[in-house]
Chain A
Amino acid sequence: MTRTWLKDQPYRPHMAVIRDIIEETPAIRTFRLTWKDPAVSATFSFQPGQVGQISVFGVGESTFVINSPPTRREYLQFSIMRTGEVTRALHQLNVGDTVGVRAPLGNSFPYATMKGRDILFIGGGIGMAPLRTLLLTMIDNRADFGEIMVIYGARTPEDLCYRYEFDAWRAAGVNLVLTVDREVPGWTERVGFVPTILAEEAPNPYNRVAITCGPPIMIKFVLAGLKELGYEDEQIYTTLERRMKCGIGLCGRCNIGGTYVCVDGPVFSGKALRAMPPEL
């Protein structure tokens, strides 16, 4: 199985072919990959929230969340913001090019414990990527969940990812609340920062799980806002990012205290977050 491959050869990527590239925003592209080796395709599995290290050979490797759900196996999807060397190189690749992928790495959302409950996703910008994998898994098992509310914001309408899917999410019974920072001509949805919209919507914490991801400053105010609404630490999940190299808890970069984001994360509960030393 895939785990055996990573256990025996944790540094060796498998080759994957870029099948499709979607321009999400001026700085974010979504890459749809398929494994080159059919044997890997046949056995590969992962859980929502797990990450992969993508290699552009000659440039390096970086960590990205797998944002397609495990319920849809035709391709593996990553959304990548052009920020540093590896992401810049990735943005220069074309359909048909190969990259290396080491996956799945890290932990995942406690999906099973979320069944039977109401769900609240709060995303900002590229932070929608780790939420998307869980959201689509839930949509594909819609009967297992109560109300699903998504509050998703970005600076401008052009900075929202997955715009082409919003109708499908709504059609699947997702209460999608979209917001942008400032008024824009033609924008008919909400205006305001994500924490403000959260306070206005005020989703009831009763039997609900909140999952949030976005820029650190947004997460900070969202966590405070959720607390105000009566959410307990145990009801809240977020994902953390760190610079990584090995992805297997050795190279010494991504630890926050004794917690290695690459193996113990990227998913952390509000409770786990609070137990961490202040080195975010």
Chain B
Amino acid sequence: MERETAMKSASFVSHADLPGLLVRLAEKAELWVPAPEDTAPHRVTFKPFQAGMAIDVQRLPVSSAKKLLFPQGEELLRFRTDKSASDAAMETVLSEKTTEARPTILFGCRPCDARGFVVFDRAFLQGPSVDPYYKARRDINLVVSMVCPGPDAACFCGAVGSHPADTQGSDVQMIPVSGGFVLHALTDKGQELMENLASAPSQAQEQEARQVWESVRRSVENVASLKDSARHFPKRFADTAFWRFHTERCLSCGVCTFLCPTCYCFTITDETDGVQGQRLRSWDACMFHHFTQEASGHNPRPTKAERFRNRVGHKFSYFLEKHGQFACCGCGRCLRHCPVSMDIRAIVQAMGETEEVHD
């Protein structure tokens, strides 16, 4: 179990006061909340808040919240090519991206989504280079998570060193108690946000919150960690038959990576309109064949077996070695939404299950 963030201050908001709190939060920053889709109310997604809208903190949103800090497509720079004034040559001039990052608050996500940003932080902020676009957004972003209202069969946060009450990556954590929520500010930013927004909890409410937190945390105590199986990855690497067997039904559609709160593979492409254009960064996926395809024709990960192996390796071996944690928060979206029910958790388990290595 990783270290919990100590609480800095606590407040209470009743169910009746929650809409008012959201309105006041929306005055401070662009507020994103989990809300049912108009046409399919059972499907919840993160949406920009509007006064009066219904929110749903009970269901896990279909896609993760990563797009707040890492948009699916974004402009890196603009360029314009013209005939140079001095000679006949063509001259390109670059211009900076002009849009400023807006402050955002992500409200009501689950601890797994909050923890996804911890993985992003390690990759995008802790070098070797700092990603300036991510940093600009992250610096003025706040995460108000809620302890998990209830995992489903695809959830496995308990297996990746987390739990449904995990505080990591959250600035404020909401804990449901009778009549409303107790809010624990976990960071200075979170404490500042909560100041004057809600009243202090009663002693009984705070006590109940602690009990709820503790029982939610302990709900995954008996879940077996993937740490032991993950250790077998290097030994399994060259076991082609193992990877072929376990990835046979993968469609290489990439939905697992697009919904994942910790997947951050991207591509950079240029788009032009006449003499000017933009350099864009967009989500990409290591599950795609062309991802590593080289111009010479060589592809170091030519089949889905190598590609899925890279996905498992990145999340459960390479990232762990570099940053001391899995690049997986156990939200289970990749299992839940896979059209052919691939189960990365089962594959990691299988790596360690038998000493027999296929040839």
* Interface set of A (CB-CB < 8 Å, partner B): 6-13, 15, 17, 57-61, 83-85, 87, 94-100, 216, 241-243, 245-246, 248-253, 255-258, 263, 277-280
Contacts and interface: CB of A to CB of B under 8 A. Distances in A.
Contacts of A85: 295
B302 to A, nearest CB: 10
Contact of B277 (A15, A57, A279): A57
Contacts of B84: 96
Contact of A94 (B89, B234, B306): B89
Interface residues of B, number: 53
B277 A258 contact: no
The 5 closest A-B pairs by CB, nearest first: A84-B295, A96-B89, A258-B318, A252-B265, A248-B129
Contacts of A11: 76-77, 132, 268, 279, 281
B242 interface: no
A251 B267 contact: yes
B92 A258 contact: no
A213 B29 CA distance: 54
Nearest to A84: B295
Nearest to A95: B89
Contacts of B294: 84, 241-243
Interface in B175-232: none
Contact of A280 (B131, B300, B321): B300
Given A249-B129, A278-B237, A256 B313 contact: no
Contact of B314 (A7, A60, A255): A255
B317 interface: yes
Nearest to A88: B295
B295 A57 contact: no
A251 B284 CA distance: 8
B94 A13 contact: yes
Given A57-B270, A277-B238, A98 B77 contact: no
Contact of B306 (A97, A216, A249, A279): A279
B135 to A, nearest CB: 10
Given A258-B322, A280-B300, 13 more contacts: A10-B132, A11-B279, A57-B81, A99-B92, A246-B268, A252-B291, A253-B292, A255-B310, A255-B318, A256-B300, A257-B313, A278-B238, A279-B300
A96 B128 contact: no
A160 to B, nearest CB: 20
B244 to A, nearest CB: 15
Nearest to A280: B300
Nearest to A17: B89
A277 B284 CA distance: 24
Contacts of B172: none
A256 B310 CA distance: 9
Contacts of A278: 237-238
Nearest to B273: A58
B341 interface: no
30 contacts: A7-B129, A10-B129, A13-B94, A15-B94, A87-B295, A96-B87, A96-B88, A97-B89, A100-B92, A243-B292, A243-B293, A243-B295, A245-B266, A245-B268, A246-B268, A249-B129, A251-B265, A251-B268, A251-B284, A252-B265, A252-B286, A253-B265, A255-B310, A257-B237, A258-B313, A258-B318, A277-B238, A279-B237, A279-B300, A279-B310
A258 B321 contact: yes
Interface in B283-300: 284, 286, 291-296, 298, 300
B5 to A, nearest CB: 26
B261 to A, nearest CB: 16
A92 B270 CA distance: 18
A100 B90 CA distance: 13
Contacts of B264: 250, 252
A39 to B, nearest CB: 15
Given A96-B88, A97-B89, A100-B92, A60 B124 contact: no
A98 B132 CA distance: 25
A267 to B, nearest CB: 16
A60 B269 contact: yes
A102 to B, nearest CB: 11
Nearest to B87: A96
